[in-house]
Structure 1
Amino acid sequence: MTPQFGHFRAESGAGPLRAPMARWMIALVVLLFFSAPALARTAPDSFAELAERLLPSVVNISTTQTAEGQSGIEVPVVPPGSPFEDFFKEFFERNQPRQRQRRATSLGSGFVIDARGYVITNNHVIQDADEISVILQDESRIEAKVIGRDPKTDIAVLKVEPSDKLKPVRFGDSDVARVGDWVVAIGNPFGFGGSVTAGIISARGRDINAGPYDDFLQTDAAINRGNSGGPIFNLQGEVIGIATAIFSPSGGSIGIGFAIPANSARPVIEQLIKHGAVRRGWLGVRIQSVTDEIADTLGLKGVSGALVASVIDNGPAKKADIRAGDVILEFDGKPIDQMRKLPRIVAETEVGKAVDVKVWRGNKPVTVKVTVAALEETEEVAAATTRAPNETPKASIPGVGLAVAALNDRLRSDYGLDEDAKGLVVTGIDAGGPAAEQGIKPGDLIVEVSQEPVTTPDQMAAKVTAARESGKKSILLLIEGDAGLRFVALRLAAN
């Protein structure tokens, strides 16, 4: 209906001074009329129409796995060399029944994304399954095969050959979903297929330690066992998440569920359909968070970014001259406001793509060009060394609560250090000092102080003194310990 504003003119009087006021009031009413729906998103009266439209696209996943069971008969234990030993052995080998097999069944959820029969679910729903069946809304059961799966993001793609055309759903933009937006979850909780629940997005960007690329949406829509792999819809009927996990002391829903965002899932799904596997980008750095103390020592405003603790030889970062001590602020135009965002952004970058990386170095931003390489799916094995006691005389560093010594053959032997180890070895810690607060231990190596290599206690003492005299509250150390390289902003106590 077109809004009518003629009464303003009728009531405004005939005088020319009233005309501007009338026009201003008309403009105000027009603004309020058209902007009001955007200011507040009201709850729907019912989710019935949405559920009716989406239910045919959501499927139940049934898997079976064959497991070996015990026969229940054990050979009696007899003394070695006993005349009964051979008798019992021969008897039981001849009469031992075959091990019983049992079939373990599990249930999950999924949804159709393509009329050709592609179905999405969680990897943990179908992992180790011998048989996988997709059950449609009409209770028809179709055998499914695995097209590809990705344990790191817990996503799997299945393919079915239906007799009738399937009704797919489309993905939405999970990045525009806001905390407080309504969502609808449909799935197969506890085997009760076609269950619909509603709630809101409770939080974004949750890290639940499920994998290296955690970025979950949190919702209070009821999610229970069997919902895994099912879709989370917005009110437009678009999939903005894949239900994956719940937090629950009892095993049932307490209103804390987690879903993989659609924008994180889509590139993984596309690669699984196209290649059967996922190729991820790789930068070749080890990183850590930027703390207030580290930001202060580097002259960086705020604690955003990812601090490069070490650079892997022959990796993309090394070739682009990214250095330990750099703080990565942007990657391919995307701001790194939190350290844990960097691995996910790099992983989603196309392999072979040359991107700009902005780093903080020497109290100013520097941009370098990096060509992203492919992440190899090999595990790095790090041998932990046992730190042995040491009786080498300690060179105490005033104000930081530790003692150090220059490396020699005896210290390398005492602390299990490699022949090519560099820096100063920590030989003593003041239990109540700044070094102890940062978890520094005897046997750790101090490789750099204020981003410069150190090899003697006098060098370190001089840098600590210089930092204190310049008014700094902390000093930056590069420490190598059992967990690898890391930067530590060490508080400078009173001399």
Structure 2
Amino acid sequence: MKKTASLFLVALFAGVITLGSYKLFFENNTITYSSKEETPFLKTNSNINFAKAAALNDIDFTIAAEKTVNAVVHVKNMTTSKSNPISGFFYGFESNQQPQIGSGSGVIISADGYIVTNNHVIDKSQRLEVALNNNRTYEAEIIGADANSDIALLKINVEEPLPYLAFGDSDGTRIGEWVLAVGNPFNLTSTVTAGIVSAKARSISNRTNQSFIQTDAAVNPGNSGGALVNTNGELIGINTAITSQTGSYVGYSFAVPSNIANKVVSDLLEFGRVQKGILGISAVNLNSRFAQEEGLNEIEGVYVAGVEEESGADAAGLEEGDIIKQVDNVKVSKFSELTGYLSAKRPGDQVEVAIERGGKRITKEVTLKKQLSVQLPIMGLTVKELSKKDEKIYNTKNGVKITNVPERYADYGLRDKVIVKVDDNEIDNIEDAKSSFSKISRYGRTSMTLLSKDGERERLIFQ
């Protein structure tokens, strides 16, 4: 009994010691630590943050959306797949032709039914159908298209005036400005997404000099040809492209600026094709070894690598080595900004070009001229219109002069020769050359009749 009582007292005493130790060393330390430690956050001015939040909440997209959704249409490109001739050979019948429907968007730009969209939306169409936001459908006619700018103009015949959007001034658009993208992604009609202008004069291909507005408003397949508008509901771009490994939106998209689209539409209506006002200079590829070795990739402006003979730049006195800093009132820091601004100009327009030469700033008045050179499809030859000097040297007023040759044709001695005939087609100018070369089959034979500086005429056959 005594032994049991002793064990109980020992256990009780040990418990008291343990509880007291915990209170003394652990619980008191925790309270002390918490009370002395400073809060690890910086203090902020709550009034400023609330003011900013209120400003963002004050942005109203509803008016712009209401203006836009009824002016954006659903464009359906209807084609028919070709029948399979092999089935006819083996089985005695041809497989049925399967209808195929491509889907995109378009923007009504006049009350009488003119619609602007992308060229790739209507390309190779056999029939075009346009559905309005009220679900009424019309068959559309192609008025004209330009593959370089990826802009096409359609027309539908309507009985009553349609809601439409007027072109805004894309040059006045600012980086960080709120915009809405309206279109028909994945056949979901009248879809509105919001974002900001992420960049301007963005080039997305080394093969073209296109200049895009970049935005983070969500754009997906089916949005092509739809409207990019500002918060006032002004049309500042035609949604055109996304860059994505998945084929869907990954955070940014691209639109043709409205000033370029407006000029293309006007040219298609008035002339049937785009009239390009060319400055007449060539620029250095800033990613090339030469540009990096010479430090040209660090220049803010456009380095003039060459001046085209008899061009507007040549007549105004621009020289190789000049750095273009500004055109009219638009500052220029890269080539895509220069080409983007000039894309809205026509031959005969005058621009004021500010250049840096030898550390001095000089201003030149340049009259833009029509395009004098072009890279031909299929073969990739670069040709130019004949100058007065060329006409005397080659003793001809017709033809185009080859100025650059791809490596695969380097051994044919084509450079500086004049093409006067392709197959049975006479070549008078670069437009003739473009048309004839676009019809060449990659798998057929093509003949070219050429003139040399010696006046010799030769005929080459390419296969």
Q: TM-score, normalised by structure 2?
A: 0.64
Q: Please point out which of 48, 51, 56 is paired with 1:42.
A: 56
Tell me which residue corresponds to 2:117.
121
Q: CA deviation at 1:57?
A: 1.3
Separation in structure 2 between the aligned mates of residue 276 and residue 241 of structure 1, nearest angstrom: 22
Q: Please point out which of 349, 355, 358 is paired with 1:353.
A: 349
Percent pairwise identity: 35
Tell me which residue corresponds to 1:344.
340
CA separation of 1:325/1:101 partners in 2, compared to 1, >3 Å: closer, same or farther?
Answer: same
More moved, 101-110 vs 280-289: 280-289
- Contact kept? 2:326, 2:355, Cα under 8 Å: yes
Separation in structure 1 between the aligned mates of residue 237 and residue 246 of structure 2, nearest angstrom: 24
Q: Aligned to 2:241, what secondary structure does the other structure show?
A: strand
Matched, 1:65 2:108: no
Q: CA deviation at 1:362?
A: 3.8
**1:391-470 matched pairs, under 5 angstroms:** none
Deviations 1:426-458 (A, max 9, x none): xxxxxxxxxxxxxxxxxxxxxxxxxxxxxxxxx
Q: CA deviation at 1:159?
A: 0.8
Tell me which residue corresponds to 2:126.
130
Tell me which residue corresponds to 1:196.
192
Q: Aligned to 1:196, what secondary structure does the other structure show?
A: strand
Q: CA deviation at 1:227?
A: 0.8
Q: Aligned to 2:120, what secondary structure does the other structure show?
A: helix
Q: CA deviation at 1:363?
A: 4.0
Q: CA deviation at 1:46?
A: 6.3
- Contact kept? 1:290, 1:303, Cα under 8 Å: no
**1:55-94 matched pairs, under 5 angstroms:** 55-73=69-87
The number of aligned residues is: 341
**1:88-107 matched pairs, under 5 angstroms:** 96-98=92-94, 100-107=96-103
Separation in structure 1 between the aligned mates of residue 255 and residue 331 of structure 2, nearest angstrom: 23
- Contact kept? 2:181, 2:219, Cα under 8 Å: yes
More moved, 318-327 vs 185-194: 318-327
Matched, 1:383 2:405: yes
CA separation of 1:98/1:175 partners in 2, compared to 1, >3 Å: closer, same or farther?
Answer: same
- Contact kept? 1:121, 1:155, Cα under 8 Å: yes
Tell me which residue corresponds to 1:158.
154
Tell me which residue corresponds to 1:224.
220
Q: Please point out which of 139, 144, 165 is paired with 1:148.
A: 144
Point out where structure 1 has 5 or more consecutive residues left out of the alignment: 1-36, 77-94, 389-412, 421-495
Separation in structure 2 between the aligned mates of residue 182 and residue 296 of structure 1, nearest angstrom: 40
Q: CA deviation at 1:282?
A: 1.3
What letter corresponds to residue 354 of structure 2 in structure 1? K
More moved, 221-230 vs 284-293: 284-293
- Contact kept? 1:147, 1:157, Cα under 8 Å: yes
Q: TM-score, normalised by structure 1?
A: 0.60
Q: CA deviation at 1:96?
A: 4.1
Q: Please point out which of 260, 265, 274 is paired with 1:264.
A: 260
Deviations 1:134-169 (A, max 9, x none): 101121111111112121111111111112320112
Aligned-residue CA RMSD in angstroms?
3.8
Separation in structure 2 between the aligned mates of residue 44 and residue 373 of structure 1, nearest angstrom: 48
What letter corresponds to residue 327 of structure 2 in structure 1? F
CA separation of 1:205/1:134 partners in 2, compared to 1, >3 Å: closer, same or farther?
Answer: same
- Contact kept? 2:211, 2:339, Cα under 8 Å: no
What letter corresponds to residue 87 of structure 2 in structure 1? I
- Contact kept? 1:329, 1:359, Cα under 8 Å: yes
Point out where structure 2 has 5 or more consecutive residues left out of the alignment: 1-50, 382-403, 418-463
CA separation of 1:39/1:260 partners in 2, compared to 1, >3 Å: closer, same or farther?
Answer: farther
Separation in structure 1 between the aligned mates of residue 312 and residue 265 of structure 2, nearest angstrom: 26
- Contact kept? 1:153, 1:213, Cα under 8 Å: no
Tell me which residue corresponds to 2:246.
250
Separation in structure 2 between the aligned mates of residue 116 and residue 249 of structure 1, nearest angstrom: 40
CA separation of 1:100/1:263 partners in 2, compared to 1, >3 Å: closer, same or farther?
Answer: same
Separation in structure 2 between the aligned mates of residue 307 and residue 125 of structure 1, nearest angstrom: 36
